[in-house]
Amino acid sequence: MTELLSNYVAGRWQAGTGAGSALFDPVLGTELVRVDATGLDLAAAFAFARDSGGGALRAMSYKQRADMLAAVGQVLQSQREAYYEIATANSGTVKNDSAVDIDGGLFTLGHYARLGQGLGEQRHLIDGDSARLGKDPLFQSQHVQVPTRGVALFINAFNFPSWGLWEKAAPALLSGVPVIVKPATATAWLTQRMVQDVVNAGVLPAGSLSVICGSSNGLLDQLQPFDVLSFTGSAETAELIRSHPAVARRSVRVNIEADSLNSALLMPGASAEAVDLLVKEVAREMTVKSGQKCTAIRRVLVPEAQAAQIAQAISARLAKTSVGNPRNESVRMGALVSRAQLQSVQEGLALLKTQAQVLHDGASHALVDADPSVACCVGPTLLGLKDAAASDAAGVVHEHEVFGPVATLVPYRDGAHALALARRGQGSLVASLYGSEPGELARAALELADSHGRVHVISPDVGALHTGHGNVMPQSLHGGPGRAGGGEELGGLRALGFYHRRAAIQASTAVLEPLKPAAT
Ligand code: NAP
């Protein structure tokens, strides 16, 4: 039997009492560890986090909590090698892809530590200016934001066991709100190990960070009115969460990051340089983390007349991608995370193929150092619609997210048609635009801003500088309307809003004055 990982709740390590679920190496097929949450006293776990963790965190200033985040970052930095080993074994990722998760998490943590240091020694935030409520200016209204007196429960997806924890925990802990994280079972090991290192280092007050691995049974039942829930995962699970009594009856605040049919759009009349930038970015986005990124490009919108040329250029790049065992230095793309994901990608691909043609076949990639009957590896597949009319008719391409190295080339008639096709995703996390004319790019970006959480604009002047279509930077908003879940994360200090309660204080200016931060 493999090792059973412990949960950390109520200030102590506790093993589940069941047999547990096994975590596997998706390349070798071997069992790695097991997780189990059976028999935990969840009520006690949540109460301890709220009372001990929340109390201790709220007693600290933003600056003190920011210093605490910096200390967490140092602990994690010192164990980076171990995290890379876990990622290779449990996520089947090549080093560069593990970095997106591991170093991406550390970078985000460091960013919030720096932002928090700028907030100084205050324990609440002033929200806007005070406003007089009547003729006499003595009686005014001042909005403030204070940390919510509850716990932040995170239910995370399998594709980012590190970043998915820290991009949420950094703003929560900086806000003064304790965290309970439930990682997706398939890749829970890395999250569990990171929490273990941070807990053992003693850099956080007791109760501020807990981890529960295994089934989510009973977790939502624990939620109370001042708790918050941040969920990342599929639209199906999101639907269950939205209709849970804690959310429906107790008004628990919920943030949902779900799936998304992100697009890359080549502007009409774009220069050859802009075309090259699109081709490079599409091939990169399809293959990074084997396409298992919520922000990955799924639809490539191009002028009808250029579709064949672009298909060829993307396919030529994809053909060079070596796929297989991430331990082999020549491999550029590792595995999908599990047999279940492999099957889901194969089924999704079959569905898309009912309406689109194969332009580059992932099956043409022989696996390097990996047994195809065991390894959850697939080559990248580019699909395409034959013309602009087909782009309108092929509903499934705009509706079904294949969570793997798969994208579809979608030809459009004109600029207005391209924007309409991008919106067919019904709300996405990100769209990227490729072109050379700043005015047109700015107009198109605004046109897409209501249906996308982020619009990433690539013109030749920033060709070597931009941060990547799919890379989520802590400075920018992450989340999207509609089917993307309707959530908002990150965006610098905006992220703190989710973990704070806003209230208006109506009082004499003499009462309001001491609430304002002292001028420095
Ligand atoms: P999932 O099946 O919905 O699982 C997500 C999480 O929910 C896991 O921790 C899972 O636990 C838990 N869960 C499952 N059933 C639950 C229930 N009834 N109540 C409460 N929790 C429950 O999604 P996934 O397959 O792991 O993730 C892939 C999806 O996530 C993709 O569609 C992708 O687009 C999306 N995603 C979105 C973002 C974003 O930021 N927008 C980021 C990454 C991924 P178990 O693992 O134990 O089942």
- Ligand 1, atom 38: closest residue by C-alpha: 294
Look-up of token digits 């390349």: 27
Distance between CA atoms of 167 and 310, rounded to whole angstroms? 35
Q: What is the pTM of this model?
A: 0.96
- Cα radius of gyration (the chain): 24
The answer to whether 32 and 20 are in contact (CB under 8 A) is no
DSSP H/E element including 275: helix 272-287
Distance between CA atoms of 249 and 89, rounded to whole angstroms? 42
Active site residue 257: yes
Distances (CA, A) of 65 to 110, 116, 465, 514: 12, 7, 32, 22
- The set of protein residues with a Cβ atom below 6 angstroms from ligand 1 is 155-160, 182, 184-185, 216, 232-234, 237, 240-241, 257-259, 294, 401, 403, 429, 485
The answer to whether 457 and 441 are in contact (CB under 8 A) is yes
Q: What angle do CA 133, 134, 140 make, to 5 degrees?
A: 35
DSSP H/E element including 174: helix 163-175
Catalytic residue among 167, 257, 285, 489: 257
Look-up of token digits 């579709």: 307
Domains identified in the chain and CATH numbers: 4-258+488-515 (3.40.605.10), 263-475 (3.40.309.10)
The pLDDT, as a whole number, for residue 519 is 60
Q: What residues are paired with 145 via a beta bridge? A: 125, 502
- Ligand 1, atom 9: closest residue by C-alpha: 184
The pLDDT, as a whole number, for residue 2 is 95
Tens digits of residue pLDDT in 419-469: 999 999 999 999 999 999 999 999 999 999 999 999 999 999 999 999 999
The pLDDT, as a whole number, for residue 518 is 74
Show the low-confidence residues of the chain (pLDDT under 50).
Answer: none
Distance between CA atoms of 138 and 132, rounded to whole angstroms? 7
Q: Report the SS3 class of residue 228.
A: strand
Tens digits of residue pLDDT in 460-505: 999 999 999 999 999 999 999 999 999 999 999 999 999 999 999 9
Residue 442 makes CB contacts below 8 A (sequence gap 6+) with 457
The answer to whether 35 and 212 are in contact (CB under 8 A) is no
